[in-house]
Amino acid sequence: MSINDCAVQIIEHLSNTQFRAKKEELQKIYGDKRVSDLPLVVLCIAGAARKGKSFMLNFFLDYLIHKEKYPTKPWQINDATSLAGFEFRDGEDRTTLGIWAWNHVFIIEQGDGTKVGVSLDLVFIIRDFCFKKYLDDENGGQMYIDKVLCDVKVEQLQQLRDGLNASYERKFGFVFPHPGEKVALEKTSNIVDMNPKFVYRAKEMVEALLSPSELQIKRVGPSVMYCKNMCDYISLCVKCFDDNQHFAPKAVQAVNRDFMFNLEVSRACEAYDILMEKAFVNCDSGYAKDKFAALHNKVFQQIQNDIVKRIKDEGVVKEVTVKSVDQLLNIFTKYKEKNDLLVEQEKKRLQIIEEKRRH
């Protein structure tokens, strides 16, 4: 771990109804050229205050530091290990108010060789669990969560379960025994001070959730998120919650939908611009009108094919295409003017040559 790597606040809690995205910090983390063009996997822990979120995150952090440095070596934690990273303390005072992130995005290579930046599935972590039959079973946490989230007769409780099932493709559960008296009463990150059964469960959970083959790339709708997209996305989400004091799923869905379309339109325009620019690299004389039209159609069709490949929903593809037309037309006009200029320059050059030949 570099001496410059640390936890930083990315969303500031100003009041009970107001938050502020710290754009400068977000840009430093996710706009870093080392990771900006990599797809992103997001790992976060949410829960009530003073329940050990930072403490648990340091297990994940230790794993990611190891895997980035030694991809093929197994992760080991033992009595000599001392966890570090996210600050925590004993007592009732909060340490990490707002939302904090590690300022170094880890690069992990997946099983297929794809590199991703790890910074949603839904995972339930239940601490201080005391039902022996679940603690003794390797899949005890999953069994317990499946039981708790099964159908119930109370309508309001069933609506909550239906909402969770509709929102997440996968739900995981992990149960933990008490971490030990020393952890509860003192600020310690030393593995030797922890309940061995707790450490075993923590290692099991981290390796299960962060296995390279299991990493789920962050998406907004069907659109893959890259690190460089996170600054704008987080800022929009924070504004959405500020504008909607009560939790408003429809408002969040509207933000996600608008962001997805803007993202896809931006990517289509960027891809069109890059492909057209390449077509002019070795073209000093420009293209004839029919060939230029054919070039545009070929590039536009390639953009369309890429959109269809990424997005399976025909309705979304159609809307992205419609929204892209005006912006693509502006880029097309830029290259048409460039082509017309090259054609005119070539025409004048040939005229000069012809005049010299005649004389």
Domain ranges within the chain, ordered by starting residue: 7-128+176-230, 257-358
| pTM score, whole prediction | 0.77
What confidence category does residue 281 fall into, taking pLDDT thresholds of 50, 70 and 90? very high
- Counting Cα atoms < 13 Å in the Cβ hemisphere of 294 gives 5
pLDDT score at 187: 79
What are 305-325's pLDDT values in tens digits?
Answer: 998 888 878 888 888 888 888
pLDDT score at 96: 66
Beta pairing class for 7-15 and 18-21? antiparallel
What confidence category does residue 117 fall into, taking pLDDT thresholds of 50, 70 and 90? low
Closest CA to 104 of 65, 142, 158, 153: 65
Q: Is the pLDDT score of 63 beyond 70? A: yes
Mean of pLDDT values over 267-290: 94
* C-alpha dist (Å) from residue 231 to 7, 36, 227, 271: 17, 11, 8, 21
Q: Is the pLDDT score of 97 beyond 80? A: no
What are 230-255's pLDDT values in tens digits?
Answer: 999 999 988 888 887 776 677 888 88
Round to whole Å and give the CA distance between 334 and 331.
5
Give the CATH number of domain 7-128+176-230; options: 3.10.450.40, 3.40.50.300, 2.40.30.30, 3.30.1370.10.
Answer: 3.40.50.300
pLDDT score at 214: 78
The residue whose two tokens read 């989230």 is 149
